[in-house]
Amino acid sequence: MDYPSQLTHMQESFQLVLSDLKGQGVAFTQNSVLPIEGDIVPAGIGRSFVSRDLLEATSIADALARLRSFQVSLGHSYNLIDVQRRMVLNVETASRSRVSVHEVGSTPFFHANMYLHLQVEQVHDESSIRRQKRAAVLPQGSKADVLSVLGDAEDPKEPIYSTGPHRYTLCTTVIDLDEKTLTIFEGNPKKGNISYVFSMSSNDFNCKLVNSDDQRTRL
């Protein structure tokens, strides 16, 4: 999913990129991070081109190697997801060949638009700080809990699930490593309004529109 007329990339937000990678069930998500201006290298490679190159990766290891190989202008946060191996890596990158890898295990991991494990001087972004703090106090022990976190709108100024006027949550996506599915929710995910379900275990990576009257439909 991407904005019209843009390369595979998204500014100050979250993006999901589906890559069949020859039926291996690999995908990646990404969101921007905000280093200070002095950390940006004008002659470096733009992160949009890095994202495009990731689509050519043949495995999660190949994707990680590609991220390490670029001399980027400024960094990004990537989630590399291997459904078959049940592995999720959060990779934070920055200019001057700085890369940090965090393997997401049983402890829930929430990432707004800020560096969490790569030591980079960054902009004080109130929105990210408030969303990060809000997520930290919410239960995250089950899929329902996670959907509740992603749909949380309790913060009147900078909610995790935003309906405007300056920022909007377009949709919510959940990758289930046990079911090997990718589900797209329309509206607030807490309401469970499923639009599409993708199978990530088939070579075709086809999707099906879920009937609103029977949201149990699966591929």
Number of domains composing the chain: 1
The answer to whether position 59 is within a domain reads yes
The answer to whether position 191 is within a domain reads no
The answer to whether position 12 is within a domain reads yes
- At 74, is the pLDDT very low, low, confident or very high (cuts 50, 70, 90)? very high
> What would the pLDDT profile of 97-124 be if each residue is shown by its tens digit?
999 999 999 899 999 999 999 999 999 9
Supply the pTM of this predicted model: 0.85
The answer to whether position 212 is within a domain reads no
Q: How many Cα atoms sit within 13 Å of 30 on the Cβ side?
A: 25
> What would the pLDDT profile of 146-192 be if each residue is shown by its tens digit?
999 999 999 999 999 999 888 899 999 999 999 988 899 999 999 99
> What would the pLDDT profile of 187-196 be if each residue is shown by its tens digit?
999 999 999 9
The answer to whether position 203 is within a domain reads no
The answer to whether position 154 is within a domain reads no
**DSSP output for the chain:** ---TTS-S--SSSEEEEEE-TTTT-EEEEEE---B-GGG--TTSB-HHHHHHHHTT-SSHHHHHHHHHH--BSS--EEEEEETTTTEEEEEEEETTTEEEEEE--SS-----SS-SSS---B---HHHHHHHHHHHTS--SSHHHHHHHHT----SSS-SS-BSSS-B---EEEEETTTTEEEEE-S-GGG--EEEEEESSSSS--EEEPPTT-TT---
Let me know the angle formed at the C-alpha of 29 by 140 and 161, rounded to the nearest 5 degrees.
Answer: 50
Domain limits at 6?
1-124
- At 5, is the pLDDT very low, low, confident or very high (cuts 50, 70, 90)? very low
Confidence at residue 16, expressed as pLDDT on a 0 to 100 scale:
52
Where residue 42 sits, what CATH number does that domain have? 3.60.60.10
The answer to whether position 24 is within a domain reads yes
The answer to whether position 153 is within a domain reads no
Residues 6+ away with beta carbon under 8 Å from 118: 75, 92, 93, 94, 98, 99, 100
